[in-house]
Structure 1
Amino acid sequence: MQKSPVTGILPVEEMLAYEEFTDRVEILRELDMWVKNIQKMTSPSTAIIAPRRMGKTVLLDRLVNTVFFKPEYKVAPFYFRMKREETTLREFLLLYATTFFRQYIAYCHQDPFLFQNRQIQLKSLINYKSDNKSVLIAKDMIKAFAERYETNEFNSTRNQWDDFICVPEQLASYSGTRVAVIIDEFQDMKFYVHDIEKKFLDQVIEKRRNNPYLEGTDLTATYDRQSQSRKAPMLVSGSAVTLVFRTVMGGPLGGRFDFSYLKPLSIPDGATLLRHLIEIYLPDSETDSENALYASTQVGGHPYYLYCLAMSKCSNKSYNTRENIDRIIRYEIEQGKIYGFWQTHFDDNRRIINGDSAIDEQTGRKIIYYFTKYNNKPVEIKEIADKLNVPKKVVEEKIEKLYQADLVYRSAARFYTFNDICLMRFIKFVYEKDMEDVEKIDLSQQNLFNTLKGKFLEMVVQVTMMKFNNGSIDGRFFGKNGVIELPLFQYVDSKTVKGAKTPQYQIDVYGKVTGRERVWICECKYTKKKMGISQVKKIEEAAKVLKIQAQEEGVPVPEVIIWLVSTGGFTEEVMEYIKDRQDILHSDHGGIDGIFRYYGGNYSIPIFNES
């Protein structure tokens, strides 16, 4: 087997410093398992849906760099990024085919340099020395493709494209080395590839200048068969949420894709990212954990906005007080990178957003303005209509325009805004000017931050538990000797339990272990006071009720592990009570801090409440 000529190189050059990549543990784990299960033919085609700048391309980069170095999976990642550049179908076919064959051979030989070497042509791949069975089969296919490509006329390019769509599946079937077909910005395959001769391409480019919405040859529809493959399923992504959703939900691809939504970072992980960015790019600056959490709350954990805060050109910027953080955020929304990003988006979609004939411009602006109060909520169309004294249909038509411009999404026959407080603040800033007779909308996140302070420990425990992955950790973090094996949780959330004849109990954090009838329930005390025996007894009662509820519902009764987490520590009575209990774990401030840091945190958990 040929060795990589370069050591320490990744197959995909990532856009971030390695340590900038923060969180995304759960979805990376899910996608890694998706790739692994292709060998067992149990992975359906999947679409990752994410608003712009949410980090989906970075996620795919990291996924490919991870699974590439797992030859035991016997699944070759074929990673293709769509570019927004006009090209002919014939040129695109050659690029697509060459990329596939190059990356397939690179995986089989674990050669990351070959994977990313875009200078390699088909002839070089045909001459690539190998005795690998999968590669030998691939080389035969390359020869067949090259001969047909060189002898075919322009008129048969579409037929060759349609035939090549099936090649990854055929190669996976013949060789036993399966394929994960990963395409970033999948929806752009509708717009930038044109089934024309190259001499006419300049005319298309000129048309694009006059019509940004110009469509090309819709190649997405040609994946109707490929999207059902289990030997070479597809993983597609797109930042134009409305468009990619329509692409994979409707038409020839309807019903063929599962979905995974990429959300903002959790607030604790957003704070971790900001501290990473400040440490990397602003070594002379710093922010403590509380201010980092405040900043993360104010931008909703959105990774791009946190990057904007760290890289802001705001004068005299610092991150040592909430007032300074508010000033940087305001600068970014009103004249910085966040402003530029959304202003460009609105300019690009102005024809859609302002394409009203039934209402005057001022009413349209007011509808958009009032829409901002529904951040991460369903848009109450009737409420807006009543406020403006206009028919509901008028508001619906305007919100439909925002949907087409990818500013809201639709679910269960309702429109919802994205969880994007900075977008709402941008709209408020732009549309509030020169507007009379409107109710002022408060988009501050102060109440949210106050709520977060009360629930922060539970949030940290929940986020951290989701990162457990059947690994081991020093038992001292959990008040035990030796090493503790931590499970992989199927899901983690809060939970209410109640039997037919029992009181109701609220469990702070509940985790269901994957593949076992075992659960963890956590009692969190987030003060400097020690946890007393009454709280321990309470969580034990909750454990009993949990089992009673399972019996009454006719489901298996789980084994219950209790995890006590108290930033103030524990009373002597509690320590004596639990010292020989194998079913009770306990972590004080140092313990949960250590676990949080072990799983990626880079700050100490602050204690907001003294009492």
Structure 2
Amino acid sequence: MKAKRKNGSSFALIARKGVGKTAVLMRLYNDLFTKQDEVVPFFITFAPYKDPAEKLTVTIFNEYYFTTVIKQYIAFRLRRPEMVEDSLKIDKLSDIAMKNGMEELDKWFTAYRELHDDSLEAVRRMVAQMTFYLMHKQAGLLIIDEFHLLTHVWDDVIRLYRDTTGVFQRPAEAKWCPMLVSGSAVSLTEQTVLTSVLARRFGLDYLEPFEENHTVEYVSKLALINHLIISDEVTSTIQTLTGGNPFYIWCLLHSQYLENNNLSTPEQLRKLYENEISQSKGYLRDFWDTHFSVYGDKLNSEDTVARAMSFLSIHPGKDIGTHDIAAAIGENNAKTRKILQNLSDADLVERNSLWRYVGITVPVLADYIKRVYKEQIEGQSSEEYQTFLYWKKLGSLNRRVGELAEIYLMMLMEKFKIYLKNSIILWILKCRKKIRNSIHSVICS
């Protein structure tokens, strides 16, 4: 997708947690690194800092960004891919650069060592100046994974959390080095690239779930690999249960609850699905347990939060006002707005406008909420009730399903061509035949 303005040549790819964006971006980086020599690729991920226990500070950001960019620049120039995975300190990187005739980097090592104040302004200057210098030497592509996490970085100088995404304002405008950023917190990432100081500098697109024909192909491949017996009827049912979500499909077809590698009837699939989403060892249950645990008290503090999630889960895709949600959960509007904000921050619900939200459209998430919180809310947890929910769901073949997919790399590369083919990356690099061939090989492999 091309940005709306000429100074907005960067691109943002958005999908929910666990989609597989990182795998795709790493594959793109690896191919750009190994299959061409005209454009320097940079890949920086902040995924480790999704864990609240890992505090991302301005100081950590400063060191991580500097060492990663310099290391990958040197590695690309020397054609040494093994350097990318090595943990190299500043002095070692400086030594490698000087021994290989890259004296032009010496001033950046000196500037970094003299950067005693780790203020945000100092970081801003370093990022802008160093990125501009390196990119003037050679065109590049700056890939940043989990970009939204940079909205919450601890600044020791003022003893507060800061939004540091603004440090990339000038790099985002560099036509010779577009940025490709990704984010799994949908609402926060949209806000970051659409309404902050980076507004109008990014094109924006989303990863969608598989269509039924892609699901059929994917299920067939997994069944062949895992030696599963599976019927066409079950394949269609899997599409309904998962909303065409490849990660969820993978979970079902790799489950320890599969009996005799046989999924020839919908009843066998029902039992498998129930175990996966209700048992602690199920992949589906574990995935959402982990996600909910990250947000702790915000999601598990009181029954009204559970009631709000339950209400939204039984109205998939419906546009619902805050007032209606407040009435349904028996809470005042102010408290309900706070609850909904927490759910939005946790990327569990989608805001439609200022005070309106969309009912949960991810089928597995909706089922997880119904099962995990049903007893807490209504005291209903019998197997008969869960069976009723299952068959009722399968009767709703045309309901709106998940907005975004949990994409498994094996099938995503084919879908990703839709976005990459029309993206600003190819627009920037259209005159470079080697890059075009490299990206084409990523898509078609």
TM-score over 0.5 (shorter chain)? yes
Instruction: State the partner residue of 2:173.
Output: 228
**1: distance between equivalents of 2:42 and 2:274?**
42
Structure-2 change in CA distance of 1:489 and 1:114 (3 Å): closer
Q: Give distance in 1, aligned partners of 2:117 and 2:209.
A: 46
Structure 1 residues 438-453: aligned runs within 5 Å = 442=389, 444-449=392-397
Distance (whole Å) between structure 2 residues aligned to residue 87 and residue 402 of structure 1: 23
Contact 1:172/1:178, CA 8 A, preserved across alignment: yes
Of 237, 260, 265, the match for 1:294: 237
Looking at secondary structure, tell me which structure has more helix per residue: 2
Identity of aligned residues (%): 26
Please give the TM-score of this superposition, normalised by the length of structure 1. Answer: 0.55
How has the CA–CA distance of structure 1 residues 392 and 95 changed in structure 2, closer, same or farther, with 3 Å as cutoff? Answer: closer
Aligned equivalents of 2:341, 2:172: Cα separation in 1: 29
Aligned with residue 100 of structure 1, among 47, 65, 69: 69
Flag the 1:111–1:126 CA change in 2: closer, same or farther, 3 A: closer
Are positions 1:415 and 2:357 aligned together? yes
Match of 2:262 in 1: 318
Task: Quote the Cα distance in structure 1 between the aligned partners of 2:258 and 2:223.
Answer: 16
Is residue 80 from structure 1 mapped to residue 44 from structure 2 by the alignment? yes
Residue matched to 1:260: 205
Q: Where does residue 408 of structure 2 map in the other structure? A: none
Deviations 1:180-225 (A, max 9, x none): 11111112234466547xxxxxxxxxxxxxxxxx974543232232
Query: Which residue number corresponds to residue 429 of structure 2?
Result: none
Q: Which amino acid aligns with 1:188?
A: L
SS of the residue 1:165 aligns to:
helix
Aligned residues: 389
- Correspondence list, 1:74-473, <5 A: 74-82=38-46, 83-84=48-49, 85-86=54-55, 89-108=58-77, 110-119=79-88, 121-127=92-98, 129=100, 139-150=102-113, 152=114, 154-155=116-117, 160-166=122-128, 167-173=130-136, 175=137, 177-191=138-152, 195=156, 216=161, 218-280=163-225, 282=226, 284-314=227-257, 316=259, 318-335=262-279, 336-353=282-299, 362=303, 364-379=305-320, 384=325, 396-413=337-354, 414-417=356-359, 419-433=361-375, 435-436=377-378, 442=389, 444-449=392-397
Cα displacement (A) at 1:427:
0.7
User: Which residue does the alignment assign to 1:533?
Assistant: none
> Greater relative contact order: 1 or 2 (C-alpha under 8 angstroms, separation 6 or more)?
2
Change over 3 Å in CA distance of 1:412–1:384 after alignment to 2? closer
| 8 Å CA contact retained: 2:14, 2:206 | yes
- Tell me the TM-score normalized by structure 2: 0.73
Once the two structures are TM-superposed, the CA of residue 48 in structure 1 deviates from its matched residue by: 1.7
Distance 1:364 1:95, change over 3 A: closer
CA distance in 1, matches of 2:120, 2:399: 58
Cα distance, 1:434 vs. partner? 5.0
Q: Which amino acid aligns with 2:362?
A: D
d(CA) in 1 for partners of 2:298 and 2:154?
23
Q: How far apart are 1:81 and its partner, in Å?
A: 0.9
Unaligned runs of 5+ in 1: 1-29, 131-138, 197-213, 356-360, 453-462, 471-487, 491-598, 601-611
1:68 match: secondary structure: helix
Q: Which amino acid is 1:295 matched to?
A: I
